[in-house]
Amino acid sequence: MQDKCGIVGAYSHNKSHNISREIYYGLYALQHRGQESAGISVHNGEEMRTYRGMGLVCDVFNNGNIEGLDGNVGIGHVRYSTTGKSQIQNSQPFISKFDMGSIAIAHNGDIINSMELRRDLEKEGIKFQSSTDSEVICHLLTREYSKNHDMVESIKKVSKKLIGSYSLVLLVNDDLMVVRDPIGIKPLSLGQKEGITMVASETVAFDVVGAEYVRDVEPGEILLINDEVHCFKIPKTPGTPRAHCMFEYVYFARPDSILDGRIVYNVRKNIGKSLFKEHPVDADVVMPVPDSAITAAIGYSRASGIPYGEGLIKNRYIGRTFIMPTQEERETSVKLKMNPIRSELEGKSIVLVDDSIVRGTTSKALVNVLREAGVKEIHLRVGSPPITSPCYYGIAMATRKELIASDKTIEKIRQTLGVDSLGYLSIDSLVECIGIKRNELCLGCLTGEYPTELPANIEEYESCRC
């Protein structure tokens, strides 16, 4: 699975301060949200400068590439594609020039009616440089802004046309603007540091530069940040829900982040404890699938009294995009990613804790690796309920037909994976662990019930996702 992106915005109230370093380190802290491309745009009061490239943050901004990015206000972006191919044209921030200056935009999320909106814009003669939904938002905003010269009002009007998820940072000349969609699917936080105001997808971006977490950007909130922080609200349609993405808590966010007031580490630790309550088992050791399931495994160990141990060592230099064409090579790729410690596994009965199962191919390959290492029994415990439906809001997990739980019972999944027992966390327990009301969470991938309407051409949209 991949999340769409991570975003950072920063404004220094000291006009002579160069903000690009804070943005760079903030993006570095958000590297787990996207390893495909990175970019930074800054404004120095006179002009906007941008640099973006393919690869990791440290690779894109090596060899002095950050040195020309001077300005007291800017935005940054790390990307993993869900719409739009992996190429430099689709990297962000996107830049658009108009009669009043320039606008740069960085986006986390997915606009599921973007194809329809794009076709309408193309009929008006607008030319696109990329194949992403983020550029669609950029053109919609610049078109509205050219009419009324008021970006807050432009955002309000454009939001009425967008279906999906969007957390945005905008550089409108030398103003920083921040937007979170009305149902709050994607996270966005506000921080401060010695005359600097920051926003980021996760609070870990503040920690690395010594900024303090202030609060979350509210769903439907627009912030205009210059000498002060000005707050506005997107008009709320009656019945509009809140729908925070449950998968941020289960998998995507770093465990040391705070999302919507919840410490992710505590949520995952509680998930592990709840897994033991729902699916206890007698075993020799509790082991995680590293790295995202480590905290849940610790929770399971503490609740059960079964010792925690490491049985798999992860090669952290193999990226998420490491894909092989044949079955033999795919099995080799799993061994490259995860190597067993035979001395910790041989003859043992283990509780293997994972954060989720999507297609099941990686889980099955891992089970084979553990069996070859001499494990006696494998009791798989999963920190999320079965994923039965696709996500349309920025997580490229799989199509419906590829999801192992879409058409299989838990017993059939157990047999397919080759484990001795299998236990998923229940939806009720997940909601309790997160600490947000069920009707304020997006559980679409678990229930097939989505917080927004789905366009009639959703199959076309799904087939074009990358």
Q: Which residue has the tokens 């290492």?
A: 373
Best CA proximity match to 136, nearest among 150, 153, 116: 116
Pairing relation of β-strands 421-424 and 349-354? unpaired
Q: Which one from 5, 245, 433, 442 is the annotated catalytic residue?
A: 5
Residue 5 catalytic? Answer: yes
User: Tokens 């606009």 label which residue?
Assistant: 111
The backbone torsions φ and ψ at residue 147, rounded to the nearest 5 degrees and listed phi first, read: -85, -45
Cβ atoms 380, 419 nearer than 8 A: yes
**Residue 305 backbone class (left: φ over 0; alpha: ψ -120 to 50; beta: rest):** left
- CB 199 within 8 Å of CB 188: yes
Amino acid making up residue 85: K
For residue 31, the SS3 value is helix
CA 69, CA 71: separation in Å to the nearest integer? 7
Residue 20, classified by CB atoms within 10 Å of its CB into exposed (0-12), middle (13-18) or buried (19+), is buried
Calpha distance 173→145 (Å, rounded): 12
Active site residues: 5
